[in-house]
Amino acid sequence: MNAPLAASLFSGAGIGDLGLKAAGFNFTAMCELEHDRAALCRLNFPEAVVFAEDVTEVGPSFVAAVRSAEQRTGQELFLVTCTAPCQGMSKSGQGTLLKNIREGRRPKLDPRNRLILPALKIIAELRPRWVIFENVIEMRGTWIEDEAGELRPILEIIASSLGTDYLGQAYDVEFADHGIPQRRQRLITVYTREEAAKGNYERGYALVPSATHAKRPIRGLKRWISVAEALSGFPSLDAKNAEAAASATIPFHRVPVLDPKKYEWIRHTPRGASAFDNQCINTACGFTGNTTHGNKRTPDGINRASVTTPLHCQACGEMLPRPYTADPDGTKRIMAGFTSAYKRMDPDLPAPALTRNLSYPCSDHKVHPTENRVLSLAEAMHLQTISQFEYRWGPIGLAIRGKEVVREQAPDTLIRLVIGESVPPKFLQLLGLHIRSLSQADPLGAGLNTVPHETRLQLSLI
């Protein structure tokens, strides 16, 4: 069989799509608004037409590029991936939104959540056999105004836009359950109009692969891969000085040097703890009972970090190695922040979800489990499973340095940003193989690693 054709909307730097490419898909067209990310797509998907354009405007040219690939290969488009931005979908927002509507007030809607509408138009025109949407779990409860201005759940709009030819479902997926050393939950919504797959779905096969790992494994599942296990092959680094903060041999295995004050806060932070809870380091005292940091809900329901957490030892009065800020007159006070800031990752669990702030210790859970530093970019690429695939970070453009024109690699800020927003390619590789098997009349014969829901139920009764 020829490589099935795929296209991608909101492609980012193509990181998630990398897994689908490894599962045998041939990307024909990709669309990404930001030029630097689109350049990374071009570099890594030379076979695709990459549009650095707004999804609201790309429609006709995107469809034409896919149609031309279909004609060239004599194949129908198999898959579209659609990973619209998720910043507008918040945990709490929808409750307030619906309450406002009930009480007759005009709801405050985030326009970014409506970017899915032009994407759905393109998908409806392309009519791929499969569509995969990836977004934050909150998408399940997100409502937006549809094309007619009517407020409806986004999942309902997806289903009605695809039409009755398609069957599908939204699944809450924890990537750690699929052998990825990171706790990252996402809503994976899969639709198909492939006849064999619809039959298999109705026979009880899920449209996403079964979990292979669990926090507490039972019945043949493996234990989650911990961050300590995943990072065990990387040489140690230390954020104390430039020499210790970078590996001379492993690309991207380098971390920012910390200013001495922050370095001390982190150096004294025990395993699994936050620097906000550090105890007395005066060797003559060593008191370990200093009040720890915390937070309180204000009468208007807002969670605020304590401002009274002691900065001096309650036994000897010496300064504690806790995060502080200094007023212009030199008075030091506990830094505004929750205990999740300046906090070490739990070595026994998969890493917390990587974000664009992965190099900032003041962001949540960003400190290495045992070393005095944040994660290196190489480690982040490993935890996001990018390093399991071939991916190039440049050159993506030309820059002038002095009198020379040089070819530029992606800057660290861009790398952090696109890692934080990406889908771990390993999961999309598994999903890609899964939907290819489900498209066969005999999915188990085609290599599926799972059994239909009914069979699972019967097995669990044995």
Ligand X SMILES: C[S@@+](CC[C@H](N)C(=O)[O-])C[C@H]1O[C@@H](n2cnc3c(N)ncnc32)[C@H](O)[C@@H]1O
Report DSSP letters for 26-69, one per residue: EEEEEE-SSHHHHHHHHHH-TTSEEE-S-HHHHHHHHHHHHHHH
Does the footprint of ligand X cover residue 10 (CB under 6 A)? yes
Residue 108: half-sphere exposure toward Cβ, Cα within 13 Å: 7
Between 343 and 434, CB nearer to ligand X:
434
Between 58 and 197, CB nearer to ligand X:
58
DSSP code of residue 257: P
Does the footprint of ligand X cover residue 420 (CB under 6 A)? no
Does the footprint of ligand X cover residue 83 (CB under 6 A)? yes
Does the footprint of ligand X cover residue 358 (CB under 6 A)? no
Stretch of 12-20, 158-166, 173-181, 398-406 contacting ligand X, by CB under 6 A = 12-20
- Report H helices in 76-145: 93-102, 116-126
The one-letter amino acid code at 446 reads: A
Does the footprint of ligand X cover residue 421 (CB under 6 A)? yes
For the four alpha carbons of 421, 424, 429 and 434, in that order, the dihedral sign comes to: negative
Q: How many CB atoms lie within 10 A of CB 6?
A: 29
Does the footprint of ligand X cover residue 313 (CB under 6 A)? no
Q: How many CB atoms lie within 10 A of CB 406?
A: 12
Does the footprint of ligand X cover residue 136 (CB under 6 A)? no
User: In whole angstroms, how close is the CB of 119 to ligand X at the nearest point?
Assistant: 8
Does the footprint of ligand X cover residue 115 (CB under 6 A)? yes
Between 356 and 456, CB nearer to ligand X:
356
Both tokens of 342, joined, read 């300046």
User: In whole angstroms, how close is the CB of 360 to ligand X at the nearest point?
Assistant: 20
Q: Which of residues 316-355 bind ligand X (CB under 6 A)?
A: none
Stretch of 9-17, 178-186, 189-197, 433-441 contacting ligand X, by CB under 6 A = 9-17
Whether residue 236 contacts residue 378, with contact meaning beta carbons closer than 8 Å, is answered with no
Number of residues that bind ligand X (CB under 6 A): 20
Which is nearest to 308 in space by CA: 292, 327, 321?
Answer: 292
Which position's Cβ is nearest ligand X? Answer: 16
Whether residue 381 contacts residue 234, with contact meaning beta carbons closer than 8 Å, is answered with no
Between 77 and 119, CB nearer to ligand X:
119
Between 353 and 367, CB nearer to ligand X:
353
Q: How far is CA 109 from the centre of its chain?
A: 24
Q: How many CB atoms lie within 10 A of CB 229?
A: 14
What are the backbone dihedrals phi and psi of residue 312, each rounded to the nearest 5 degrees, phi first?
-120, 145
Between 83 and 226, CB nearer to ligand X:
83
Stretch of 7-15, 199-207, 227-235, 379-387 contacting ligand X, by CB under 6 A = 7-15
How many Å apart are CA 87 and CA 113, to the nearest integer? Answer: 8
Does the footprint of ligand X cover residue 85 (CB under 6 A)? yes
The one-letter amino acid code at 256 reads: P
Does the footprint of ligand X cover residue 174 (CB under 6 A)? no
Does the footprint of ligand X cover residue 34 (CB under 6 A)? yes
Does the footprint of ligand X cover residue 133 (CB under 6 A)? no
Binding site residues, ligand X, CB under 6 A: 10-13, 15-16, 31-34, 37, 54-55, 83, 85, 115, 418, 421-423
